[in-house]
Structure 1
Amino acid sequence: MTRDIPDRIFYRIKDVSIITGLKPHVLRYWEHEFKDIKPLKSPKGQRLYKRKDLDIILTIKNLLYEKKFTIDGAKKYLSSQKKLFDEIREELTDIVKLLNKGESH
């Protein structure tokens, strides 16, 4: 259902709207509801979304529209995924330290 996403540094709200199929007012509302959506603002005040923002928006859209999560449910799900990711990253960092320590002996 998602279109091919052009490879850019920034996407304007109109571009994100076209790519995601979401109206700009929905995107603006989600910015207030989901703290991980953090578009930059151009000197003229235009929202500039990064690819990470776009990926988060597509994930939220899937949770809300396909999986029928509530907004609070989607927030909890995203928070739990972030915690899991952080735990895995910490474990991998510890493993790398152990491997590096073993190489020095």
Structure 2
Amino acid sequence: MFEPDKKYLNISEVSERTDVPAHTLRYWETEFKQLKPERHSGIRKYSPLDVELIKKIKDLLYNKKYTIEGVKKCLTVDRRKKNMSNMQVGVSDSKILEEIKQELKEILDILE
């Protein structure tokens, strides 16, 4: 989808690749706060993550027949799930660090 040397696509390239009209993409930006393409000199520049989000929104709206509000809720739930998994990683990281700390204390006791 993206050329190796290209980080961003403009709105017409995204429109062509996702088969979503440019005016619809602009509208979705107003409805879905997660869809925020960067702007360079006033031109929208979509990242690969933006394009994936557009595909997901399109699928939910057109194929799964969600309403705009339904898609918003779905995207919010997805974000919460992602945040929860990140928090769980943090918990397991702190457990690992605590175990390492305990092992180092035991080694220190042995050396003394």
Unaligned runs of 5+ in 2: 103-112
Alpha-carbon distance in 2 for matches of 1:23, 1:11: 14
1:22 match: secondary structure: coil
Query: Considering only CA atoms, is the larger Rg found in Structure 1 or Structure 2?
Result: 2
AA in 2 matched with 1:96: D
| Ranges in structure 1 where 5+ consecutive residues have no aligned partner | none
The alpha carbon displacement at 1:62 in A equals 0.7
- 1:6 Cα deviation from its structure 2 partner: 1.6
Matched, 1:11 2:5: no
> Which residue does 1:33 correspond to in 2?
31
Question: Residues 71-93 of structure 1: CA distance to partner in whole angstroms, max 9, x if unpaired?
Answer: 00000011011111111110111
Aligned to 1:102: 99
Runs of 4+ in structure 1 deviating by more than 6 angstroms, as ranges, are none
1:1-105 superposed matches below 5 A: 5-7=1-3, 8-43=6-41, 45-105=42-102
Kindly state the Cα deviation for residue 104 of structure 1 after the two structures are TM-superposed. 2.3
- Counting aligned pairs with the same residue, the percent is 33
